[in-house]
Amino acid sequence: MLPGVEALERAMGYLPGTAPEPVTELIQEVSEELVILDGVKAEYRIFSNIRLWPEDKTVEIEGVIFHVKPIIYSQITDTEEVALFICTAGPLVGEMSRRSMKEGDLLRGYVYDVIGSEVVECAADNMQDELKRAAGTRGMHITNRFSPGYCGWDVAEQHKLFSFFKDNFCDITLTPSALMNPVKSVSGLTGIGRNVRYTSYQCHKCDDNNCIYRNRKTKA
């Protein structure tokens, strides 16, 4: 479940193999310490009672309307079912990160933090793989996963998303300001259908020029 050194270097902004020595050493040390990371969870629920509203670019799931906005809507127009998901890396990495920072070991704290972010992304990737496999057995495909707070979809719509899950599902709670606790958690939806497809990420369609994914170096 733990991401490799190269993935972590990338997540910090470096090209693989270019992070300074103390950083790669710490990544290795912290990764060894976290080999068994309890609390990583990823769950989804599939809904077939859905409707798509092209005029408003909304998706209705069991009567609840999600305003996913044009960029995401355009990727799920042929969807027949929707999977809603939540994933978490659990509370431990966050706690370790805060403790190290408090003790003045800023770099170690940051390494825990980035590992937490990557672990939850890996958990979500594994969940997508499982969803893809399950959809495949029914002759269906899946779309990318999309999260409230990205591509214009209001982050506050997480409240609607969470209403489909039992309280403390996956041990995640949502604050009134739509912040998931533990912090290293993600939520969202994936489209499922015979005619949907997975596409490479389309950063050019998004207007967030500050996004660190966009700023990451892709070539030397």
Partner 1 sequence: MTELLERISICVEFGKVDLKSPYPPALKDQQGAFELTRIALDSGVSPGVILEEALIPAMSRVGEKFSRNEIFVPQMLMAAKAMNSSMIHLRPFYLSGETRRKGTFIVGTVTGDLHDIGKNLVAMMIEGAGWEVIDLGVDVSTEKFIETADKYPGAVIGLSALLTTTMENMRKTVASLREIRHSMKILVGGAPVTPEFCVKIGADHYSPDPQGAVEFLKSIAQ
b (16+ CB within 10 A) / e for 76-102:
beebebbbbbbbbbbbbbbebbeebbe
Of the residues 127, 142, 180, 192, which one makes contact with ligand B1M according to CB under 6 A: 180
- Out of 210, 218, 219, 220, name the contact with ligand B1M by CB under 6 A: 210
121 binds ligand B1M (CB under 6 A): yes
Window 152 to 171, contacts with ligand B1M (CB under 6 A): 155, 158
Answer left, alpha or beta for residue 75, where phi above 0 means left and psi between -120 and 50 means alpha: alpha
Closer of 19 and 186 to ligand B1M (Cβ): 186
Q: Which is nearer to ligand B1M, 121 or 171 (CB)?
A: 121
Shortest distance, position 81 Cβ to ligand B1M, whole Å:
20
* Interface with partner 1 in residues 108-127 (CB under 8 A): 110-111, 113
Cβ count within 10 A of residue 44: 21
Residue 19 interacts with, from ligand B1M, partner 1, none (CB under 5-8 Å by kind): partner 1
Min separation Cβ 94 and partner 1, Å? 9
The encoded tokens of residue 73 equal 């809507």
Is residue 19 a contact point for partner 1 (CB under 8 A)? yes
Calculated CA dihedral for residues 148, 45, 136, 204, nearest 10 degrees: 0
Q: Is 200 in the site for partner 1 (CB under 8 A)?
A: no
CB of 156 to ligand B1M, least distance (A): 9
Provide the 3-class DSSP secondary structure of residue 1.
coil
Alpha carbon 63 to its chain centroid, in Å, reads 25
Q: How far apart are CA 78 and CA 28, in angstroms?
A: 43
Helices (H), 17-171: 21-33, 69-75, 92-102, 106-136, 158-162
Residue 119 or 140 with smaller CB distance to ligand B1M: 119
Measure the CA–CA gap between 62 and 82, rounded to whole angstroms: 11
Residues that bind ligand B1M (CB under 6 A): 117, 120-121, 147-150, 155, 158, 179-180, 183-188, 208, 210-213
Residues that bind partner 1 (CB under 8 A): 12-14, 19-23, 98, 101, 104, 106-107, 110-111, 113, 149, 154-156, 175-179, 181, 183, 208, 210-211, 215, 217
